[in-house]
Structure 1
Amino acid sequence: MPATIFYQSFYGSTGDYARALAQRLGTTAQEIPADASQCEIGGTDPLILLSPVHGPSMAAADFLKHNDLGDRPVAVCAVGMTLAEEARSKDRCASLLGRKAATVTRFYLPGRLNYSTLSGKHRNIMRAIVGSLRLKPNKSANEHAMIADYDRDIDRVDLAELDPVVDWALSATRG
């Protein structure tokens, strides 16, 4: 089944999901280039973009903001460390997509965060976030998890979470 898959991955989990999804759909996954105009995005087959959410930015949302895909079926898979229930209920990806959110199907996939491989800059950002969370009263379950997981390698990647994405791609093809 034809599908076009693009991804961005910093620490590996998004790349793992993209390659597994491509294998299941019988296609290949390509990295999102720094210059979105270099992407070959023609066609009418389903387009699936996977990228991590890093603070206020997400490569998949940025890509879609700068490309007009017409009526083509599009899905974004946000990969992150926010607990799945909270990520799905808050749906931050919708706000990052702006007006395109109404036409883009959104999925959340739990990721991996290995403190042992973080860049110094990312480690400092996490230290500041967790430090401020420790002082916050009335923490959410997700905030408690961030504090508990701080400075530990955490892997929540679950390839079974791709099942709804595959189902969406198959239904979008039949369309």
Structure 2
Amino acid sequence: MTCAIYYSTYYGSTQQYAEELASRLGTAAEPLPSSPSAVAAEPAAGPLVVLAPAHGPLHDGAKFLQQLPAAVLGNRPACLVTVGMTLDDEAVRADAAGGLLGKLKDSVTRFYLPGRMHYSELSGPHRTAMRGLVSMLKLKPGKSENEQALIASYGKDIDRVDLSRLAPVEAWAREHGA
């Protein structure tokens, strides 16, 4: 069996994880196709792994999985790997990807990996959004640990990518036929 690995990325950390996972599993990582019909046309094979960043309320991976025909996910195991800057405990507790998956929540395994944010590389709109978010958080009483970390890292180039954290995703893929 083969494992299909798809990813979307804004600043490169998700692609880095996807390519490393593909290397470990002896396959290739591909950008998310613009149409889910490309995946639907694949012969049902091993597991489907989708890696995507959390980008505010947007999650390309969850959106992509929701657009797949039911027969695709009914015939093969799928997981969604979210890459972001949220602290680990908070990412797992909040399970934002689970909420975004809607009715697929119970059939798609979810993993969370730390990413990178280089303020020096942010697009203008992203930089503006981050400035607004951090400004609002500074005024908020009773900040969470995650909110405090976001404020403390504002304006800094932070790289939390840790390829060793792929081990559970790799194990899941192998357990499901990769």
User: Same fold judged by TM-score > 0.5?
Assistant: yes
Distance 2:55 2:107 in 1: 23
The aligned counterpart of 1:160 is: 164
The aligned counterpart of 2:34 is: 34
Structural RMSD (CA)? 1.3
Point out where structure 2 has 5 or more consecutive residues left out of the alignment: none
2:83 to 75, 79, 84: 79
Distance 1:41 1:96 in 2: 25
Distance 1:22 1:134 in 2: 40
Q: In the comparison of the two structures, how many residue pairs are matched?
A: 174
- The TM-score with structure 2 as length reference comes to 0.94
> 3-state SS of the aligned residue for 2:177?
helix
Point out where structure 1 has 5 or more consecutive residues left out of the alignment: none
Distance 1:164 1:54 in 2: 23
Displacement of 1:35 after TM fit?
A: 2.9
Matched, 1:124 2:128: yes
Distance 2:8 2:21 in 1: 14
Whether contact under 8 Å (1:80, 1:111) holds in the other structure is yes
Q: How does 1:134-149 map to 2 (within 5 A)?
A: 134-149=138-153
Matched, 1:101 2:102: no
Deviations 1:113-172, CA, capped at 9 Å, x for gaps? 000000000000000000000000000000000000000000000001100001101111
Displacement of 1:56 after TM fit?
A: 1.2
Distance 2:27 2:96 in 1: 28
Change (3 A) 1:71 1:33: closer
Distance 2:109 2:11 in 1: 24
Displacement of 1:55 after TM fit?
A: 1.2
Whether contact under 8 Å (1:44, 1:73) holds in the other structure is no
> 3-state SS of the aligned residue for 1:50?
strand
Deviations 1:86-129, CA, capped at 9 Å, x for gaps? 10111100000001010000000000000000000000000000
4+ runs of 1 displaced by more than 2 Å?
A: 33-42
Stretch of structure 1 that moved more, 29-38 or 157-166: 29-38
